Structure 1
Amino acid sequence: MAESSAVTAAVPERAAPTKLEELLEITAQSLVRAEVAEHYEVVRELGRGKYGHVMLVTHRQRGTPMALKLLPKASTKLHTFLYEYCVALSLATHPAIIGMFGIAIESSQYYGFLYEPALHKDLISIIKPRDGIPEPAAKQCAKQLVSALEFIHSRGLVYRDIKPENVLLFDPDCRLVKLTDFGLTRPKGTKLKLVAGVIPYTAPELSNTADAQGVPIDTSMDAWAFGVLLFCLLTGYFPWEQSLPEDPFFEDFMQWQETGLEKDVPRHWRRLTAEAAGMLRSLLALDPAKRGPVSAVLRYVSCPWRLEGGRGEEAAVKS
Structure 2
Amino acid sequence: MSHSHSSNSSNNIVGTHYRVGKKIGEGSFGVIFEGTNLLNSQTVAIKFEPRKAEAPQLRDECRSYRILAGCPGIPQIYHFGQEGLHNILVIDLLGPSLEDLFDMCGRKFSIKTVCMAARQMISRVQTIHDKNLIYRDIKPDNFLIGRPGTKNANVVHVVDFGMAKQYRDPKTKQHIPYRERKSLSGTARYMSINTHLGREQSRRDDLESLGHVFMYFLRGSLPWQGLKAATNKQKYEKIGEKKQTTPIKELCDGFPEEFGIYLNYVRKLGFEETPDYEFLRELFGKILKNNGDVEDGVYDWNLLNGGKGWEASVVRFSVFECLPWK
Aligned partner of 1:179 in structure 2 is: 158
More off after superposition, 185-194 vs 174-183: 185-194
1:23-34 equivalences in 2 (<5 Å): none
1:45 has 2:41 as partner: no
1:82 is matched with 59
| Higher relative contact order structure (alpha carbons within 8 Å, sequence separation ≥ 6) | 2
Does 2:243 correspond to 1:250? Answer: yes
Report the equivalent of 2:208.
224
**Per-residue deviation, residues 100-124 of structure 1 (Å, max 9, x unmatched):** 22x1121112101111101x31110
The answer (yes or no) to whether the contact 1:53–1:71 under 8 Å persists in 2 is: yes
What is aligned with 1:55?
33
User: What is the distance in 2 between the residues matched to 1:134 and 1:109?
Assistant: 45
Conserved? CA contact 1:160–1:222, under 8 Å: yes
- Does the C-alpha gap of structure 1 residues 271 and 82 become closer, same or farther in structure 2, counting only changes over 3 Å? same
User: Would you say 1:276 and 2:264 are equivalent positions?
Assistant: no
Extract structure 1 runs of 4+ deviating beyond 3 A.
128-131, 171-174, 195-198, 241-249, 284-296
Aligned-residue identity in percent: 18
The residue number in structure 2 matching 1:8 is none
Q: CA deviation at 1:185?
A: 0.7
Q: Are residue 235 (structure 1) and residue 219 (structure 2) matched?
A: yes
1:202 and 2:191 aligned: yes
Amino acid of the structure 1 residue aligned with 2:158: L
Q: After superposition, give the CA deviation of every residue in 1:125-151 in whole Å (9 maximum; x if it has no partner).
A: 011498522333222222222222112
When the two chains are superposed, the root-mean-square deviation of aligned CA atoms in Å is: 3.4
Deviation of 1:285 (Å) = 4.3
Per-residue CA distance 1:36-71 (angstroms, 9 max, x = gap): 922333332222111122211012343221011111
Quote how far apart the aligned CAs of 1:183 are: 1.2
Matched residue type, 2:12: A
Q: Deviations over 1:63-113 (max 9, x none)?
A: 2210111111121566x4322111112102111212222x11211121011
d(CA) in 2 for partners of 1:61, 1:130: 40
Unaligned runs of 5+ in 2: 1-7, 168-175, 226-234, 292-326
Could you say which residue in structure 1 is the equivalent of 2:302?
none
Distance in 2 between residues matched to 1:114 and 1:249, nearest whole Å: 40
Secondary structure in 2 matching 1:45:
strand
Give the residue type in structure 2 aligned to 1:95.
P
2:165 and 2:35 mapped to 1: Cα distance?
Answer: 29
Is 1:135 the counterpart of 2:111? The answer is yes
Q: Cα distance, 1:160 vs. partner?
A: 0.9
Q: Is the 8 A contact 1:55 1:68 kept in 2?
A: yes
Tell me if structure 1 keeps the 8 A contact 2:184–2:195.
no
1:296 aligns with 2:285: no
| Contact 1:55/1:67, CA 8 A, preserved across alignment | yes
TM-score by length of 2: 0.67
* Counterpart amino acid of residue 135 in structure 1: I
How far the C-alpha of 1:195 sits from its partner, in A, is 4.5
The residue identity in structure 1 corresponding to 2:284 is: V
TM-score, length-scaled by structure 1? 0.69
